[in-house]
């Protein structure tokens, strides 16, 4: 094992117990009909995650599609609240995950993270206690591709200088990411320490960060 690539949300950090504004629930904040806005956001979200639109542009576009000129103040409020709420998550890292990434790094294993996210979500990434131990962070809005597309995994491995057969992907299983990792040629394991999803067939379950260390060691 030469590299481990982690999912970010609900694997390295968690929104559990945090009041993070959901993008699809911002209709009232923007002065729009909630149901109509939610429909527009659902259509625009893939373009935002791939960096084709910024979050700000998507909020304005959502209003325009509904015939409403959303005020700049409302848009700024929504962007600021999302940035602030997500930034707080990077300052409450589980000590077991700090130990895991530190110890893997000390063993010479290359480490990376990938995430389907927007700029507001990861503004505080470099302030995170995990960042010094990770060799790359591949965010979809910069990479122009989202999980489970194999290209986002391969981009992380390119930056790590590692072949897929020498790498392990660890994630909670959202966005069909574990299947995507397999398609890209990586081994995969399912992290269940923050959220519990249906087990992916044939994929090891990791209940704690210590379990991840044990798996890599084997």
- DSSP 8-state assignment for residue 135: S
What percent of the residues of the chain are helix, what percent strand, and what percent coil, each to the nearest 5? 50, 15, 40
Split at pLDDT 50, 70, 90, the class of 195 is very high
pLDDT of residue 201: 81
pLDDT of residue 158: 98
In the chain, where the domains are located: 3-14+93-217, 23-89
- Rounded mean pLDDT of 172-191? 96
Asked if residue 148 has a cis previous peptide bond (ω within 30° of 0), the answer is yes
Q: Quick one: which H or E segment has residue 7?
A: strand 3-7
In sequence order, which residues have a C-beta less than 8 Å from that of residue 153 and are 6 or more positions away? 5, 114, 147, 164, 169, 180, 181, 184, 186
Two tokens at 208? Answer: 């704690």
pLDDT, tens digit (0-9, with 9 covering 90-100), for 104-149: 999 999 999 999 999 999 999 999 999 999 999 999 999 999 999 9
Taking the model in full, what pTM does it have? 0.95
pLDDT, tens digit (0-9, with 9 covering 90-100), for 36-65: 999 999 999 999 999 999 999 999 999 999
200 pLDDT above the threshold of 80: no
Query: In which residue are the tokens 């991840």 written?
Result: 212
pLDDT of residue 153: 98
CA distance 189 to 203: 6
218 pLDDT above the threshold of 80: no
Q: Pseudo-torsion of CA 98, 101, 102, 107, nearest 10°?
A: 160
Q: Does the domain formed by 3-14+93-217 have CATH 3.40.50.1000? A: yes
Distances (CA, A) of 12 to 31, 80, 115: 34, 23, 11
CA distance 69 to 72: 9
């Amino acid at each position: 094992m030469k590299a481990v690539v982690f999912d970010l949300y609900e694997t390295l950090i968690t929104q559990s117990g945090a009041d993070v504004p959901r993008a699809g629930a911002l209709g009232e904040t923007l002065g729009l009909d909630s149901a109509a806005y939610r429909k527009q956001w659902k259509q625009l979200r893939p373009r935002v995650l791939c960096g084709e639109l910024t979050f700000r542009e998507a909020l304005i576009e959502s209003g325009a599609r509904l015939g409403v000129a959303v005020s700049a103040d409302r848009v700024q409020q929504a962007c600021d609240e999302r940035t602030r709420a997500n930034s707080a998550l990077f300052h409450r890292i589980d000590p077991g995950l700090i130990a895991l990434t530190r110890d893997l790094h000390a063993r010479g294993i290359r480490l990376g993270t990938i995430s389907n996210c927007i700029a507001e979500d990861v503004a505080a990434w470099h302030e995170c206690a995990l960042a010094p131990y990770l060799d790359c962070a591949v965010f979809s809005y910069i990479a122009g591709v989202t999980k489970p597309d194999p290209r986002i995994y391969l981009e992380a491995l390119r930056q790590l200088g590692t072949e897929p057969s020498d790498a392990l992907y660890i994630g909670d299983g959202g966005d069909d990411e574990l299947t995507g990792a397999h398609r890209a040629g990586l081994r995969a394991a399912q992290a269940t320490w923050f959220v519990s999803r249906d087990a992916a067939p044939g994929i090891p379950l990791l209940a704690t960060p210590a379990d991840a260390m044990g798996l890599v060691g084997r």
